[in-house]
Chains A and B, each alone.
Chain A
Amino acid sequence: MRTLRWEAVLLALCVAVLAYGAATTDGFTEQGNLAFLLLDYSEVALLALALLPIVLTGEIDLSVASTLGFCSALTGTLWEAGLPFETIVPLVLLAGAALGAVNAVLVVYFGLPSLAVTIGTLGLYRGLAYVLLGDRAVTGFPANYRPLATDSIGFLPYATVLVLVVGIGVALLVHVTPVGRSLYAIGLNTQTARFSGIRVDRVKLALFVLSGALAALASLLYTLRYNSARADNANGMELVAVAAVLLGGVSIFGGRGTVLGVATALLAMAGLRNVLFLDDVSNEIQNVITGLLLIVSVLVPVLFKPRRTKDAPLDKSTSDTGGDPGGGRARGLRGDHEGVGRGGG
């Protein structure tokens, strides 16, 4: 219920941004601009979609943008070596998945906190990208593929179609499949999830690998879009992706969040950025505005929610019995378990 309300707030924010842009800003509603608005956030959207399932389980992957950077540098290196682009695509996707697997092994099998692991690999993967390309740029990517990353049908870029397909895929995974339900269970309480037979390790492993592969996909898009493979590509983009996930109403502690929320947040952020750009608002002020928006987005749900339901309900049945005092007790207990779990980790 509450998450649905948050999505309504986000939707209203979206409409407000779009209406403001249309009413006050010349050129905002032009087809070319709307296409650019969507295109400019396509890589961020892919990274956010990669992050969402991971954050639902209570983990995080801060290495996504560095994985993108490494895969972009790898694309450039292989292209320079004369490999056909058709061969490079699967190789780069595999490389991304492999980097995700490295994260997964460290988090799952060594039991290390994903925050620490992926801050480490954030630096490591970016460093490896520089090992491959230094500060050089590789360019001259095939003109027959580049339009896929730059062109649009009307206001809808091909890249956005790709993002929509991935988005629907992630939505099906998260909201329809049993695996998806297990993500929420893991995020709410890993121990309980384990005891109830969910293969927590296997699920997390798969999610990190998926995240790496999606970052690789984003790298191909980025490299073709700018026709430039560089080690510093998408530097710092992980923070924008994390911001979109959090603004989308996903709990950083796991267990709560929807694809629709993240999608709406992405659209609102992309629209806001575009309007601010067109209004010649300086970068510093833009950062201030998006920063404030993010803080408000995590603050508002905390301020306006009843104290006793501080943690999201475990599943539909408990939320339906939300008025029942027994349900409240159960939630309190679960909160305690979580506290112990986190302290121990």
Chain B
Amino acid sequence: MVALAACGGTTRGSDAAEGDGGGGNERSANPDAEIQEGLKIAFLPKEIDNPYMTIMDEGGTTAVAETGGEGKAVGPSDASASSQVSYINTLIQQQQDAIVIAANDPNAVAPALKDAMSQDIAVVTVDSDAAKDARHVFVNQASAEEIALTQVELITKQIGGSGKIAILSATPNATNQNAWIAIMEEELKKPEYADIELVATVYGDDDDQKSFQEAQALLRSHPDLKGIVSPTTVGIAAAARYLSSSPYKGKVALTGLGTPNQMRQFVKNGTVTEFALWDPAELGYLAGYAAAALASGQISGAEGETFEAGKLGERTIGADGEVILGPPTVFDAENIDDYDF
């Protein structure tokens, strides 16, 4: 292989022009520019029938309506890597002012998004980023720190600051979950958490049945367990279902990341007191405002620029064009009925 590579062919890394394809789409920003009326802004979810995506896009079209623009959501019925590309072409032909996309594959959509950018269309990625040079702004949920620390705070409070806890995660190689777990482990080493012992991290593979069984097995092997953290919506719902029908209900704390609709009954019946998640509607809402600000020339996607995001207030663009929604929302018996997703 090395010999072949040395023969002067085109190999990985030998390609100097790599990543240069997207030149010429620098936008200029005038912080005093008004948000234009009647902007056409399209939302392109990972797949059209995914409830999480639907709520996000509804948040986005609400924001666009508030700016006096015209928002719509279109998208593929499968979340494959390439299925969004036809839609991007369509949106270019329809001369939309901005495209807000949750990318299924960061690279597969990049050439099409660069095409859009070269035709003066503002490109915002939301929830799932595309290649950095193929969008102006990325609206991200929350930083990994915030997500991890919120969960540590919740479980500490729920078990009264001491005892054994375990983590029920998604798959062993899930990027997001592993990043959060690493931060949680680091945080738990601090002196203020000396009385808390993380005894196990198990994987339910984001499969309802497997997660249920893993929760069951956790309590069999650690009968003195005080709490479970499940940083995945599938895991927390399955664990809640197990606990609610077991003698551990109300005795073993459960928290993590879940959706209000899945968790409502377990909050109401006392299995779960508090859990967290970012609000996808707000995520889409923020992306809608970012798109309007970009399309109006108020921002260009450079670090340090600011824009008004309706009810979310003023937001600042961070490094790499990233805008962060903020700490996750904590749901409990008080507020859970205000959310429907």
Write the residues of chain A forming the contact surface with B, with a CB cutoff of 8 angstroms: 26-28, 30, 32-33, 36, 40, 79-87, 137, 139-140, 142-146, 150, 222, 225-228, 230, 232-236, 273, 277-278, 280, 282-284, 287
Contacts and interface: CB of A to CB of B under 8 A. Distances in A.
A28 B90 CA distance: 9
7 contacts: A27-B95, A40-B89, A84-B4, A84-B8, A140-B18, A278-B90, A283-B48
Interface string B314-326: 0000000000000
A187 B21 CA distance: 49
B85 interface: yes
Given A82-B5, A84-B9, A40 B86 contact: yes
Nearest to B81: A230
B93 A86 contact: no
B28 interface: no
Interface string B104-129: 01111011000100000000000000
Contacts of B10: 84-86, 142, 144-145
B105 A230 contact: yes
Nearest to A227: B107
Nearest to A280: B74
B77 A36 contact: no
Given A86-B10, A232-B80, A137 B21 contact: no
A226 B105 contact: yes
B327 interface: no
Contacts of B85: 40, 226
Contacts of A284: 77
B12 interface: yes
B94 interface: yes
Nearest to A226: B108
Interface of B: 1-2, 4-5, 7-12, 15, 17-21, 48, 72, 74-78, 80-82, 85-87, 89-90, 92-95, 105-108, 110-111, 115
Contact of A82 (B11, B18, B107, B110): B11
A227 B21 CA distance: 12
Contacts of B115: 32
A137 B107 contact: yes
Given A27-B95, A282-B48, A233 B90 contact: no
Nearest to B42: A280
Contacts of A82: 1-2, 5, 11-12
Given A233-B82, A278-B90, A284-B77, A142 B107 contact: no
A227 B74 CA distance: 23
Nearest to A223: B108
Given A87-B9, A142-B10, A144-B10, A137 B81 contact: yes
Contacts of B108: 137, 226-228, 230
A80 B110 CA distance: 20
A79 B14 CA distance: 12
A330 B12 CA distance: 63
A319 B85 CA distance: 47
B12 A79 contact: yes
